[in-house]
Amino acid sequence: MTRALQSLFVLLATATDRQLAKYVEYLKAENRVLRDRLPKRITLTPRERNRLVKAGRPLGSAIKDLITIVSPRTFLRWAKGSRHTPNHRTRRPGRPRTAESIRDLVLRIASETGWGYTRILGELKKLGIQSVSRSTVVGMLKEAGLDPGPRRGEGSWSDFLRRHAATIWACDFVTKKVWTVRGPVDLFVLVFLHLGSRRVHVAGISANPTQEWVAQQARNVAMRWDSATDRPQHLIRDMDTKFGGGFDAVMASEGVRVIRVGPRAPNLNAHCERWIQSLRHECLDHFVVFGESHLRHVVNEYVAHYLDERPHQSLGNRPPCGTGPPPGKGSAESVVCQQRLGGLLKHYRRAA
């Protein structure tokens, strides 16, 4: 190809004006034949475009009779503009894509509120973002797999728990078979869990949790709430007959609404059920318990570990009653292991 071009340039350099005109007419005819075999629209790279501008600018107005790959008006726009450099990226045809920051904001509003596209568009206009249309917001939501319509109804049970987590407690019983001088006995542990902070309180342990005993534990817990900043407005419990009317009456006198979840619905009290599962798998299943005092010691040790030492993912890997990480850049030096219950429960801290 290079040798052919060299021969062409030599031929043009030694030709007369009349011969040059004939050469040009032939090349134009050949170019038309080749163009007829190509697509009507040819997309050029920035480098190719600059090559045409560099070669065609010295021809002046004569370029109108020669150029066929684009219109003469497009070539003049290329020649006048300086934005088309070899490093310039060709813009895709059509309207420019909406800025990613606006797209992220739309998806954030939709996920946090459940609003439809009309309400989201109103928030954008209120923020001074006027370049987004209704159809653009709809397209963003559909592209992200979100329903562009608003969320109807009162919401799901998860939405309710998330909305009221700061004022909701849950309670349930943990059972454990212990060995006594009279043989095996089932002991019942009544626990209360605050959904927002994940703090746990063990109300009491009994082998015979009557309704009167449960009601008394409710009074004891209510005394702790008097000075607490997380005083509940709702309390979740199951339909266990051990609670009875006395328990609900104590809670009603404290201004707490009791929400009873039906049978075979563990997800309705999932937070408390999940804590009980952790207590069993991480602690109780590893012990043969002898007597109530032994069980109380084991449970209290686990609760202390859970509240002050065990990181919780929903709290940013901070213990429910613990502090955040120490200031400054952390290092792997001077780290010691502390243990509870004979090494069953471990956690790590920096040496003093």
Write the pLDDT tens digit of every residue in 43-64: 778 888 788 788 778 777 777 7
Q: What's the CA dihedral at 114, 117, 122, 126 to 10 degrees? A: 70
Query: Residue 176 pLDDT > 90, yes or no?
Result: yes
More confident residue, 34 or 170: 170
Query: Residue 306 pLDDT > 50, yes or no?
Result: yes
Query: Residue 24 pLDDT > 80, yes or no?
Result: no
> Residue range 83-110: average pLDDT?
71
Nearest C-alpha neighbor of 234 from the set 274, 275, 271: 271
What is the predicted pLDDT for the residue at 29?
76
Q: Which long-range contacts (CB under 8 A, 24 or more apart) does 278-282 make?
A: 278/306, 279/174, 280/174, 282/344, 282/345
The amino acid that residue 77 corresponds to is: R
> Residue range 147-152: average pLDDT?
73
What is the predicted pLDDT for the residue at 30?
77
Q: Which residue has the tokens 């407690």?
A: 169
What is the predicted pLDDT for the residue at 179?
94
What is the predicted pLDDT for the residue at 88?
47
> Residue range 251-258: average pLDDT?
92
Query: Residue 196 pLDDT > 60, yes or no?
Result: yes
CB within 8 Å of 181: residues ≥ 6 apart:
none
Mean pLDDT of the chain: 82
- Least confident window among 101-115, 139-153, 196-210: 139-153
State the pLDDT confidence band at 166, using cuts at 50, 70 and 90: confident
Q: Which residue has the tokens 């940013």?
A: 316
Burial label, 117 (beta-carbon count in 10 A; 0-12, 13-18, 19+): buried
Domain boundaries, the chain: 2-80, 100-143, 162-315
Contact 292, 205 (CB under 8 A): yes
Which CATH number is associated with domain 162-315? 3.30.420.10
> Residue range 290-300: average pLDDT?
95
Query: Residue 337 pLDDT > 70, yes or no?
Result: yes
pLDDT tens digits, residue range 208-246?
999 999 999 999 998 887 666 678 889 999 999 999 889
pLDDT tens digits, residue range 311-336?
888 787 888 887 766 666 666 677 88
More confident residue, 117 or 173: 173
What is the predicted pLDDT for the residue at 45?
82
What is the predicted pLDDT for the residue at 170?
93
- Least confident window among 110-119, 180-189, 198-207: 110-119
What is the predicted pLDDT for the residue at 115?
84
State the pLDDT confidence band at 84, using cuts at 50, 70 and 90: very low
What is the predicted pLDDT for the residue at 330?
62
C-alpha 13/C-alpha 214 separation (Å) is: 109
The amino acid that residue 285 corresponds to is: D
What is the predicted pLDDT for the residue at 348?
84
The amino acid that residue 254 corresponds to is: E
Strand blocks (E) in 9-150: none
What is the predicted pLDDT for the residue at 83?
45
Query: Residue 167 pLDDT > 80, yes or no?
Result: yes
State the pLDDT confidence band at 86, using cuts at 50, 70 and 90: very low
